[in-house]
Amino acid sequence: MIKNTTLLLAFLVVIGRTSVAQDLDKLLLKDYRPQSIYKIPITRVPKAKYPVIDLHSHPYAKSDTEIAEWVKTMDQVGVEKTVILSYSTGARFDSIQKAYRKYGNRFEVWCGFDFTGKDKTGWSKKAVKELERCFKAGARGVGELGDKGLGEFYSLPTPGYGLHMDDPRMKPLLQKCAELKMPISIHVAEPYWMYEPMDSTNDGLMNAYQWKIDKTKPGLIGHAELVKTLENAARDNPKTTFVACHFANTEYDLSILGNLFDKYPNLYADIAARYGEVAPIPRYMQTFFKKYQDRLVYGTDMGTSPKMYETTFRILETSDEHFYEFHQFSYHWPLNGFNLDNDTLRKVYRDNALKILMK
């Protein structure tokens, strides 16, 4: 127990939330804001070491002014191109494509699949037709498709609940993507903390509680089953390129993703929005990146701020240890840099994305 009143007050100040000290017995996990006391190197990386292609972003900027500001930020931090995953078909896709195409090759907008009437006879043919229309309008990929257990719900204007990636009804769409050389960005499952009990044993509880999976929902399939739908799709469609978002949400056991890489050369994975999940294990991540340096691609999925990009570069490029980024990640644990070698960085930042985009 801390006896000194001054020390107690200093310890209880909650950074970024409130300046009022709290009784330790009433301190909430969501308000816990530790500050590192270690006098160790702090490295700023305002610009990536090599040119970057961001293969996982969304239409965060809505107006011409906001998009122009984003381009300035991309120039500032060294991002050459950003792929906008729109989820969309129809008029919504057309609107997003129109807004971003003004900036030439700085952006590439990908479409979704149209799941309207998915339970009716002939749906696949209509969906393929819309995919072809989007391709002619400028879409060069599909995504982000997303399945957290109930089906492909990341789709506008119509979600595809009940359809998983390996459903036979999806086959014509996946084959058409191969024909048109349109890679598919696919989000399966969630980080494993979201499936674990929401109690004191869950070391990712602060973030996991917000994104927890309700396993009581009828028809919900679990984490392993969802990863299996991705594997089945990659196996059964060898000419289609798949990009598994967020390390395929296998951060807790990346040997799962490694085994998929070993079996399916048409499978890649982006690292978007999982920096907080993997930064606690830097030595393991350095080894994993090096081994699969030809299959991992850079992505963000976290907005457009310069600070956000800088944080990702710091984790990938430096050997900094034990630092916090509460503004970006909702975990209480400290982060560490991977200190990736130059060849790996070049491939992850840009070269692997070019292989996908130019297939």
49 shares a domain with 21: no
Amino acid occupying residue 175: Q
CA pair distance 189, 193, nearest whole angstrom = 11
CA pair distance 65, 340, nearest whole angstrom = 35
pLDDT over threshold 70, residue 1: no
What are the pLDDT digits (tens) for 324-353? 998 888 888 999 999 999 999 999 999 999
* Enclosing domain of residue 15: 1-33
24 shares a domain with 173: no
CA pair distance 155, 116, nearest whole angstrom = 10
Confidence tier at 25 by pLDDT (50, 70, 90) = confident
CA pair distance 69, 67, nearest whole angstrom = 5
23 shares a domain with 83: no
Q: Beta-carbon neighbour count of residue 175 at 10 Å? A: 15
What are the pLDDT digits (tens) for 58-89? 999 999 999 999 999 999 999 999 999 999 99
Element (H, E) at 286: helix 282-291
With beta carbons less than 8 A apart as the criterion, state whether 150 and 328 touch: no
Confidence tier at 38 by pLDDT (50, 70, 90) = very high
Does the global pTM surpass 0.85?
Answer: yes
Tokens of 20: 């009022």
pLDDT over threshold 90, residue 3: no
- What mean pLDDT comes out for the span 151-179? 95
Task: State the virtual CA torsion across 233, 266, 341, 315 in degrees, nearest 10.
Answer: -30
60 shares a domain with 15: no
What are the pLDDT digits (tens) for 221-250? 999 999 999 999 999 999 999 999 999 999
Question: In the chain, pLDDT over 90 holds for what percent of residues?
Answer: 85
6 shares a domain with 68: no
pLDDT over threshold 90, residue 359: no
24 shares a domain with 49: no
With beta carbons less than 8 A apart as the criterion, state whether 127 and 115 touch: yes
296 shares a domain with 198: yes
Question: What pLDDT, on a 0 to 100 scale, did the predictor assign at position 206?
Answer: 87
CA pair distance 76, 46, nearest whole angstrom = 8
216 shares a domain with 110: yes
What are the pLDDT digits (tens) for 259-270? 999 999 999 999
267 shares a domain with 246: yes
> How many domains, in total, are found in the chain?
2
CA pair distance 51, 174, nearest whole angstrom = 31
Mean pLDDT of the chain: 92
Question: What pLDDT, on a 0 to 100 scale, did the predictor assign at position 53?
Answer: 98
83 shares a domain with 9: no
DSSP conformation letters of 140-163: -SEEEEEESSSEE---BSS-EET-
332 shares a domain with 209: yes
pLDDT over threshold 70, residue 52: yes
Minimal CA–CA distance to 265: which of 226, 230, 238, 237? 238
Tokens of 310: 């800088």
What are the pLDDT digits (tens) for 112-156? 999 999 999 999 999 999 999 999 999 999 999 999 999 998 988
Question: What pLDDT, on a 0 to 100 scale, did the predictor assign at position 256?
Answer: 98
CA pair distance 305, 301, nearest whole angstrom = 11
